[in-house]
């Protein structure tokens, strides 16, 4: 009986010991769980902080990269715009002047060498008009004053038809003092290189007008012979005046202008040696047709003179353009240097990103700091190209 009691007491005490041990272990485990929960909370807070730090690093890098690129771009634009504008403007002006000069010289060349057909038509039309005028004014030319005025107008008209009005002078300022008094030519033609050609239009036609009124052939022939002799005498008088010696840079001849083809043909019919003897006396006989041709030759000379001047201007413009191109190339090389420096700064920023920021970001990813397992830190490639130099 006593044994049973001791056994029951032992069982109660054992159960109590087990209960006490269980309670002690439970309390110990609850403390450990609380500590584990606290550590988990701390780890979670640390992870959030690391995530925030990573986000801050990304924003910082974006800001640094944007700032570097913006500053490089702004600096490049700031330096390049005024220099490029300053250099391109004179280059553009020089090209425009060169284009205008080339267009002008081509136009003059076409006018000089491509207008022969138009010149011949003008000569033919002028000859036809002058022939009509000669016939219609036959009666009016009986008056010496009217004849002189008509000769002067015809001479001016010839200058206009030949396109030489700007180079033909009719003013009295060209009169000179000769041995027999004041000499005043009817027209002075200015030639290139400062030369001048004197033209006299005081050809005698009185006998020719009488031949037109003759009632029989013998009287007509006699008046035509007298007309030829009057022309020859006038040639001698012109030769004695020596206009070429009175005007500086004048060739050694004077032009005798006969204001009608029929006047000269009638005199030449009666005296075949008029042209030869006139040239021997340094007198060149010219009718409206031949004088137009002579003045057209002089006009071509003036065109060639202007072409030579334009060619010289083009040469000078080309030299100026070459010098400006050299200056432009120098400034353009400086712009290339600025671009190279901007690329160098960008590549340094890329190096800082790869060697200082990316490794830390990858470590955070390995620790589970990213929300997405496959999220990768973006890579930035450096710029490998440099600016090219202008080839001269």
pLDDT tens per residue across span 84-125: 666 667 767 777 777 787 777 777 767 766 666 677 677 677
Examine residue 336 and state whether it is found in any structural domain, yes or no. no
Task: Yes or no: say if 154 and 146 are a contact pair by the CB < 8 Å rule.
Answer: no
Q: What are phi and psi of 354, to 5 degrees?
A: -70, -40
What's the pLDDT at 361? Answer: 66
**For the chain, how many structural domains are there in total?**
1
Q: How far apart are the first and last CA of the chain?
A: 128
DSSP alpha helix (H) spans, 192-287: 206-213, 217-241, 243-246, 261-270, 274-280
Residue 180 has pLDDT above 60, yes or no: no
Domain annotation covers residue 331: no
Q: What is the mean pLDDT of the chain?
A: 74
Report the pLDDT averaged over residues 12-33: 65
Report the pLDDT averaged over residues 322-346. Answer: 72
Q: By residue range, what is the domain housing residue 247?
A: 129-316
Residues 345 and 67: beta-carbon distance below 8 Å: no
What are the CA-CA distances from residue 322 to residues 64, 89, 224, 317 (Å)? 44, 14, 70, 9
Better pLDDT: 236 or 10:
236
CA 285 to chain centre: 48
pLDDT reported for residue 165: 74
Q: 169 lies in a domain? A: yes
Write down the pLDDT at residue 16.
64
Q: Is residue 249 a contact partner of residue 196, using CB atoms and an 8 Å limit?
A: yes
**236: confidence class by pLDDT, cuts 50, 70, 90:** very high
State residue 173's pLDDT score. 43
CA dist 4 to 16, 17, 18, Å? 18, 20, 21
Which band of pLDDT confidence, cut at 50, 70 and 90, is reported for residue 310? confident
CB 152 within 8 A of CB 172: no
> In this structure, is residue 378 part of a structural domain?
no
User: Does residue 235 register a pLDDT over 80?
Assistant: yes
pTM over 0.85: no
77 inside domain: no
pLDDT higher than threshold 60 for residue 179: no
Backbone phi, psi, residue 112, to 5°: -75, -45
Q: Is residue 387 part of a domain?
A: no
Query: Where do the DSSP E strands lie in the chain?
Result: 168-169, 176-178, 181-183, 187-190, 196-200, 254-257, 283-286
Round to whole Å and give the CA distance between 303 and 281.
31
Above pLDDT 90, what percent of the chain?
1
Looking at the predicted structure, is the pLDDT value of residue 6 above 80? no
pLDDT digits (tens, 9 = 90+) for 251-305: 888 889 888 888 888 888 888 899 899 899 999 888 888 888 888 888 787 778 7
Q: Is residue 356 part of a domain?
A: no
Q: 10 Å Cβ neighbour count for 321?
A: 17
The per-residue pLDDT for 172 is: 44
263 in a domain, yes or no? yes
Sequence-ordered list of residues with C-beta below 8 angstroms from that of 369, at least 6 positions apart, any chain: 47, 50, 51, 54
The stretch 314-327 carries a mean pLDDT of 77
The whole-number average pLDDT for the span 205-225 is 85
Q: For the residues 32-45, what does the mean pLDDT come to? A: 71
């Amino acid at each position: 009986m006593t044994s049973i009691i001791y056994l029951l007491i032992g069982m109660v005490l054992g159960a109590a010991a087990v209960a006490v041990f269980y309670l002690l272990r439970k309390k110990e485990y609850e403390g450990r769980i609380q500590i584990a929960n606290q550590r988990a909370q701390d780890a979670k807070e640390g992870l959030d902080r690391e995530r925030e730090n990573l986000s801050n690093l990304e924003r910082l890098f974006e800001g640094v990269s944007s700032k570097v690129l913006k500053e490089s771009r702004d600096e490049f634009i700031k330096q390049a715009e005024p220099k490029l504008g300053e250099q391109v403007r004179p280059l553009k002006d020089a090209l425009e002047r060169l284009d205008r000069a080339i267009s002008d010289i081509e136009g003059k060349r076409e006018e000089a060498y491509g207008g022969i057909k138009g010149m011949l038509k003008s000569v033919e039309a002028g000859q036809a008009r002058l022939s009509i005028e000669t016939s219609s004014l036959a009666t009016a030319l009986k008056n010496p004053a009217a004849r002189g005025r008509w000769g002067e107008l015809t001479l001016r008209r010839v200058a206009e038809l030949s396109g030489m009005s700007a180079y033909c002078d009719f003013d009295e300022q060209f009169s000179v003092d000769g041995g027999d008094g004041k000499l005043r030519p009817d027209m002075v033609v200015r030639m290139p290189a400062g030369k001048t050609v004197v033209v006299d239009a005081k050809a005698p036609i009185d006998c020719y007008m009488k031949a037109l009124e003759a009632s029989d052939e013998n009287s007509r022939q006699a008046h035509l012979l007298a007309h030829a002799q009057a022309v020859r005498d006038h040639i001698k008088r012109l030769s004695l005046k020596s206009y070429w010696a009175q005007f500086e840079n004048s060739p050694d001849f004077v032009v005798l202008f006969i204001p009608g083809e029929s006047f000269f043909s009638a005199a030449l019919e009666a005296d075949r040696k008029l042209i030869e003897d006139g040239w021997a006396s340094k007198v060149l006989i010219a009718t409206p047709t031949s004088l137009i041709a002579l003045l057209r030759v002089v006009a071509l000379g003036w065109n060639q003179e202007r072409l030579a001047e334009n060619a010289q201007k083009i040469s000078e413009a080309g030299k100026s353009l070459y010098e400006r191109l050299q200056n432009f190339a120098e400034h353009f090389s400086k712009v290339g240097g600025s671009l190279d420096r901007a690329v160098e700064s960008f590549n340094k920023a890329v190096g800082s990103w790869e060697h200082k920021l990316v490794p830390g970001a990858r470590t955070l990813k390995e620790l589970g700091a990213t929300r997405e397992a496959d999220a990768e830190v973006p890579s930035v490639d450096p710029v490998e190209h440099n600016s090219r130099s202008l080839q001269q």
